[in-house]
Chain A
């Protein structure tokens, strides 16, 4: 079963772009060969919130993976073995995305419901600015 994950890892700041791209492409290929999909974005060099080893900053890379857990496990193993990678974090996002989707749907349906009466009540707009100015004053701040 495919799930969506967010994998963020930090490589040492002195890593050359070439090597980084190579690393990313190998990780991507290991996912795609196992039937998953990925999208990577390089955040670039950022300061770390605390020292890691002897580094004060690092290059952050974010990978969005859609694959099975075993694939992610394999990618994590690779990251652990790869020396320039100083930190990584995997977060499963499919349930969160599902939840957000649901909320969005509810909001959209509500918006549709609220916009429809507003359109019909459009001719009465001169009255609404007054009402709008009154409400914040009466509302407890």
Chain B
């Protein structure tokens, strides 16, 4: 496993070695082009080990083709609100920017009409 991961890094280090010599000194850090960007959240690390392989997160709204993000749909909105009542950041949920914008707006409206809590759990 370690050899596999090291082999591409060495090649990447050698190719970029002329311009940035410090790269070859720390081969573990300057990884080869990783496919999906790593991130935390519901996908989560699947296996132990040094390298984390995380699932590429996709926007729920794009996948399920939910276009109408409405403040009345508490069930949907509650999925994107942390237990503290905060809006979960995009980097954790994988929601795309346009949808996050609508989502956050809807959550704020729902808070205003007491469908979602401003802070803490809904009793």
As a 0/1 sequence over residues 89 to 107 of chain A, the CB contacts with chain B under 8 angstroms (1 = contact) are 1010000100110010001
Among listed A11-19, A46-54, A69-77, interface-contacting one: A46-54
Within 8 Å CB of B71, what residues of A?
Answer: 89, 91
Is residue A80 within 8 Å, beta carbon to beta carbon, of the partner chain? no
CB B75 to nearest CB in A, in angstroms, measures: 13
Is residue B48 within 8 Å, beta carbon to beta carbon, of the partner chain? no
A10 to B114, CA, bound (A): 9
Q: How large is the interface on B (under 10, 10 to 19, 20 to 34, 35 or more residues)?
A: 20 to 34
Within 8 Å CB of B115, what residues of A?
Answer: 49
Within 8 Å CB of A140, what residues of B?
Answer: 35-36, 56
A50 touches B35 (CB 8 A): no
A62 touches B72 (CB 8 A): yes
Q: How large is the interface on A (under 10, 10 to 19, 20 to 34, 35 or more residues)?
A: 20 to 34
Within 8 A of B (CB), among A9-29: 10
Within 8 Å CB of B114, what residues of A?
Answer: 10, 48-50, 52, 58, 87
> Which residues on B are within 8 Å of A, measured CB to CB?
35-36, 55-56, 65, 67-68, 71-72, 109, 111-118, 120, 122-123
> Which residues on A are within 8 Å of B, measured CB to CB?
8, 10, 47-50, 52, 56, 58, 62, 87-89, 91, 96, 99-100, 103, 107, 140-141
Q: Which 7 A-B pairs have the closest CB atoms?
A: A48-B114, A49-B117, A49-B122, A89-B113, A49-B114, A50-B117, A49-B116
